[in-house]
Structure 1
Amino acid sequence: MSANQLRQRQDVPEEQTWRLEDIFPTTAAFNAACNDLISRGQAIGQQQAVLLSDGATLYTVLTAYFQAEALADRIFSYGEHLYNSDMTAAAGQAAYAQAQQTITAFNTATAFVTATLPQITPAQLTAFYAAKPQLEDYAFIFAQAEKRAPHILTAAEETLLSALGQSFRAPETIYNKLNDADIDFGTMKDPHGNTIPLSKEKIYQLYQSPDRAIRKTAAEKFSAAYAKSQYAFAEALQQHVHTQNTLAHVRHYPSARAMDLTEEFIPESVFTNLVNTVHEFLPSAHKYFALRKQVLALDPLYTYDLSVPLVGEAPLKPTFAQAQEWALAALAPLGEDYLDHLREEFNNRWIDRAENAGKLSGGYEEDVFGVHPYVLLNWSNTYRAASTLAHESGHAMQSVYADASQPYWYSQYSMFIAEIASTCNESLLNHYMRTQYQDNAKVKAYLLTESVEDLLNTIFNQTKYAEFEHFMYTTDAAGESLTPETLTDKTAALDAQYDGPDVAPNPWPNVSWARIPHYYMNYYLYQYATSKAVANTLAQRMLTDPATAVPQYKAFLSAGASDYPIEIVKKAGIDMTKPDYIRETLQVFDQQVDELADLLTK
């Protein structure tokens, strides 16, 4: 094998892979669990006619249902992780397909449970509590069901929708195949003249090259790979968006955005407050791009120039072991119990870190209740990769605390607050690193740039993507097609608005809309921005007033889904229904841009 080729999965050292045996020790155990889940679903299904007959029956069925749901999560995680490790391997493909089919069968058999709960009247619930006090364990489940009642269909209709679950996920599955298994970025010459194969991670590294020709070639290769399949990517997006709009109509919501935010009990004003407040601070983003143009002495400054470090070659190139040490030191303010959990993650193969052929790109964390969280990375020796490790570990630690404090049905915290713990870790890491290099002007400027870029990417860019996502939904709802041309034109318009006059678009069509997996996650992108704003505030409090803020933060981590997300964050002292927290964070961004300008232009 050439030194420049991606390794095959079987060539990756075991210690760099996750230990899926913690979920199921053997394939036979996985198969047995699938059969068990189907049997459990059938047994629960037999209780449909008597579910609300009395409190004892309701308690028995709910207990069996949530126990089976926990098993379903294990089954899905095992199949998904095995598949994501190498999407070209037959074993992973088979396990993932089996997991999806099994869970679809289970959901079809048990869809009546969630469909029936909203039918419980207050008088019935009072009687059920009196007859079976243990039902109080599910009190918040009943409260949420009452709020969702107007959007729950009949049991037969819910069963039908559950049976179509795999079909509803098909556009995302097709996208993943296109984006990870089929796409080919080709090869190019590296700065030393060697021919190297290109991957997403490798291209990101090349974007930071001081050689502008290298950056341009990498960007062209990246864009060309997506442009080659742009019609397939556009069709996948069209089908996903149209499916969600149709589901919103079927469930009696005015829009897909209303459906997705209401499902999390989030007022739509949170979304509009974000967009409006970010628009207020676009001049701050434009000021930063003007600084980039000045420092790099590039005119025009193209989009492919926006990742090159302002201080030249990145001065920090940590190994994975060094990144772990940084994370432990940076997160020390959170207490020894937090660090113990972090060491457990690092030392027990919760992380799959090596890049290999066929592996899912990017990174994510997924919890397996009763086992432990799992983290997927594609490691490279960069500060950004170290920040990603801290980010995904933030997700993992929130899962650890929630699992330890909540029963299964309250452990799976809302997507709306999921990015707070992860981005808080990023902020703490950057703060720690800047203190370590306080007397090194070059490294300090580099780290300050990373902080500015973090806020730029997590708040400004994610808000831009959220605007684009909303455009897709409203366009489809108006009966218009999401053609590659429509998507490319809208991308160009938003880039011009957010980047300002000092950034020139790359001299080829911008099909970056095709690469973003979060467009299949139903109004998830805006939550990165709102979460980052909350996280910055919490991180600052933990650094300045740890005695008060750290216990509050631990309570936040431990809350899981035991309350409405807005209320969980309010308990930590932040009201997300108001734009103040966004404005405060963007004021910090503006100040950091000025501080960076002082360092780089004096």
Structure 2
Amino acid sequence: MLKRSEVKLEETWDLSHLFETEQAFEEAMKNVLKVSNQIEEEFKGKIDSAKKVTLVLTAYQNLYEKMVPISTYASLSLSEDQTNDEAQMRSAKVGQNYSKVRAQLSFITSELLQLNEDVLMEAKKLAPQFEHYIDDVLRQKPYQLHPEAEKALAAFGSTFDGPYELYNTTKLVDMKFDNFEVNGESYPLSYNSFEGDWELESDTAIRRAAFEAFSTKLRDYQHTTAKTYDNHLKIEKTDADLRGFDSVFDALLFDQKVDRELYNRQIDLITTELAPHMRRYAKLLQKVHGLEKMTFADLKISLDPTYEPKISIEESRQYMLDGLAVMGEDYQNMLNRAFDERWIDFAQNQGKSTGAFCSSPYGYHPYILISWTSRMNEVFVLAHELGHAGHFYLAHGEQNIFNSRPSLYFIEAPSTMNEMLMANHLLANSNDPRFKRWVISTIIARTYYHNFVTHLLEAAYQRKVYEIIDEGGSVNASILNQIKRNVLEDFWGDAVEITEGAELTWMRQPHYYMGLYPYTYSAGLTIATQVSQRILQEGETAVQDWINVLKTGGTKTPVELAKMAGVDITTDQPLKDTIAFIGSLIDQLEQLTNEIVEETKA
């Protein structure tokens, strides 16, 4: 694994678009602290009219826009290499300073909520751009604490972020993997190489040995990681109790603007109704690969690994342009800019964050992190992250900074939509049974397995953990391991052997430090599946509806956004239809596999 200084420059993102020099970054940080002081001096204790409300919100909006590139620069420079001392200190400094700013300006929300609501209604008329922000503030009123309590909690902001930072330090800095051996040959191992390569390896002996070596190293850190997670859970529970929420679930769903019914339905229906389809898929993998038994370590393998082509970064650009062409010219321009202007960090290096993500700072272009292995399935990963980029590229262009970000419940709909559009394009341009099987198996293995199964089982596990916390309990490594194992065994039944080490997969997911995030992947993909089918059937009309949804940003609830796209998520029908669609894809895989076998015999 190369050091960050050794990777090709053209495979890295260009953070100079945020700040050209470290000096410019430092000056921007000083200016934010200065402006924060000015806002406090000018407005604290003086917000007593609709006019003052609009003035303070205008000042706060301008400051917020100045803060975004600073936090983004610090975060991304750390994500590219967690071992970088300078990046660690920069990130810590930003965290401390922003906690100070949040504490200093916490009076804004407190004073707004002390005003008569008539004053706030008048402010909305004076400045309609703040209507959504004021409505969100009013929603908080039943859970708002005394102004001094809010200030104290805000001051602890970076401390409360500590568990997540500890998790990443353990995972990406301290955890070092030894090489593993198979038949006398040594193979290098790292977090990124396991999740990007070895987990997908077609050679069973190598794949299972990699899984065992990876799990062995995770086990060495399980107790520290569990204690870190338990501390995070206690912070969330304490905050929920202090604010008067009935449960930690209600507190975490409050910002998502959905109720427990939508949350529980997503987990319960998929756990029961999708499991039989995925067990069939597991048995198909076992049959095609001639495995004596199907283990947890085998679930990520390709149905036809000899067919999957290797593709270059430049070739991936053409796939994006062709597969997402239906989204229109403006979207195509964004895709070209992403490659030409180095929005994407493709490099593999020591200390780099695992997985893939998209950061979309308001007022700037998005940034995407991915560790490119040249596997064709990463076309879908890249399309996914460009879905996030396209979403905020459009939303930021239409909405102010307070209005651009939608509920977390909806956040994965645009990303998974791009995976579906890519699949639709590939399927429409070939009649070759083997290619069609490869595409459909990739949709199952990448799009649906990752978003509907992996993240859904994380959500089922997470719900059980929060139930313990809600009742005043605590968790440790033994409890977390047992919960995870039970969830996996319930879903896969006797179709898959849950091998030793599978229970440790809870250690691999940073989403647990982001509230009730894992279930939103299946929620977003439910919406995306239905809308992608609309696009296939209706064409341009459905595309324009979808683009309008993306431009709407966070000005509507998830239910309203889905309705704009033609999907009613207040019922279980879209989810049932999506599960049935997954079942039909597996039917096609079984049929295509039989056809290919017969052709081979002939």
* Structures share fold, TM-score greater than 0.5: yes
Alpha-carbon distance, 1:76 to partner = 0.5
Q: Could you tell me how far apart the structure 1 residues matched to 2:476 and 2:42 are? A: 47
Q: Could you tell me how far apart the structure 2 residues matched to 1:155 and 1:145 are? A: 14
Match of residue 423 from structure 2: 430
Match of residue 216 from structure 1: 208
- TM-score, L = length of structure 1: 0.95
- After superposition, residues 505-584 of structure 1 pair within 5 angstroms as 505-508=498-501, 510-584=503-577
Confirm whether residue 286 of structure 1 aligns to residue 279 of structure 2. Answer: yes
| 1:599 pairs with one of 592, 599, 602 | 592
Q: Could you tell me how far apart the structure 1 residues matched to 2:380 and 2:130 are? A: 38
Alpha-carbon distance, 1:332 to partner = 0.5
| 1:349 pairs with one of 318, 322, 342 | 342
Alpha-carbon distance, 1:11 to partner = 1.7
8 A Cα contact 1:190 1:196, kept in partner: no
CA offsets per residue over residues 96-142 of structure 1, 9 Å max, x none? 1121112111111101212333333332234445xxx5322211212
When residues 508 and 467 of structure 1 are mapped into structure 2, their CA distance, relative to the original with a 3 A threshold, is closer
8 A Cα contact 1:206 1:218, kept in partner: yes
8 A Cα contact 2:65 2:362, kept in partner: yes
Confirm whether residue 256 of structure 1 aligns to residue 248 of structure 2. Answer: yes
8 A Cα contact 2:409 2:558, kept in partner: yes
8 A Cα contact 2:296 2:502, kept in partner: no
Match of residue 158 from structure 1: 150
8 A Cα contact 1:73 1:368, kept in partner: yes
When residues 153 and 495 of structure 1 are mapped into structure 2, their CA distance, relative to the original with a 3 A threshold, is same
Q: Could you tell me how far apart the structure 2 residues matched to 1:429 and 1:197 are? A: 31
Q: Could you tell me how far apart the structure 1 residues matched to 2:121 and 2:231 are? A: 44
Confirm whether residue 91 of structure 1 aligns to residue 86 of structure 2. Answer: yes
| 2:371 pairs with one of 367, 378, 381 | 378
- Runs (5+) with no aligned partner, structure 2: 596-602
| 1:200 pairs with one of 174, 192, 196 | 192
When residues 544 and 353 of structure 1 are mapped into structure 2, their CA distance, relative to the original with a 3 A threshold, is same
Q: Could you tell me how far apart the structure 1 residues matched to 2:40 and 2:475 are? A: 40
Match of residue 315 from structure 1: 308
Q: Could you tell me how far apart the structure 2 residues matched to 1:127 and 1:535 are? A: 38
AA of the residue aligned to 1:573:
G
Match of residue 122 from structure 1: 117
> Structure 1 stretch 455-464 or stretch 59-68: which is displaced more?
455-464
- After superposition, residues 69-108 of structure 1 pair within 5 angstroms as 69-108=64-103
- After superposition, residues 362-401 of structure 1 pair within 5 angstroms as 362-401=355-394
Q: Could you tell me how far apart the structure 1 residues matched to 2:184 and 2:328 are? A: 45
CA offsets per residue over residues 209-257 of structure 1, 9 Å max, x none? 2321101110001111110010001001101111101111111111121
CA offsets per residue over residues 529-578 of structure 1, 9 Å max, x none? 00011011111212221221111111111011122232122111112222
Aligned length: 593
Q: Could you tell me how far apart the structure 1 residues matched to 2:543 and 2:46 are? A: 43
When residues 312 and 34 of structure 1 are mapped into structure 2, their CA distance, relative to the original with a 3 A threshold, is closer
- Give the secondary-structure state (helix, strand or coil) at the position aligned to 2:180: strand
Alpha-carbon distance, 1:347 to partner = 0.9
Match of residue 599 from structure 2: none
> Structure 1 stretch 496-505 or stretch 541-550: which is displaced more?
541-550
Q: Could you tell me how far apart the structure 2 residues matched to 1:39 and 1:565 are? A: 37
- Give the secondary-structure state (helix, strand or coil) at the position aligned to 1:375: strand
Q: Could you tell me how far apart the structure 1 residues matched to 2:421 and 2:304 are? A: 22
Q: Could you tell me how far apart the structure 2 residues matched to 1:231 and 1:269 are? A: 34
Percent identical among aligned pairs is: 25
- Runs (5+) with no aligned partner, structure 1: 1-5
When residues 572 and 195 of structure 1 are mapped into structure 2, their CA distance, relative to the original with a 3 A threshold, is closer
Q: Could you tell me how far apart the structure 1 residues matched to 2:331 and 2:440 are? A: 26
AA of the residue aligned to 1:485:
S
AA of the residue aligned to 2:472:
G
Match of residue 3 from structure 1: none
When residues 56 and 579 of structure 1 are mapped into structure 2, their CA distance, relative to the original with a 3 A threshold, is same
- TM-score, L = length of structure 2: 0.95
| 1:19 pairs with one of 3, 10, 14 | 14
Alpha-carbon distance, 1:181 to partner = 1.2
- Give the secondary-structure state (helix, strand or coil) at the position aligned to 2:276: helix
8 A Cα contact 2:196 2:373, kept in partner: no
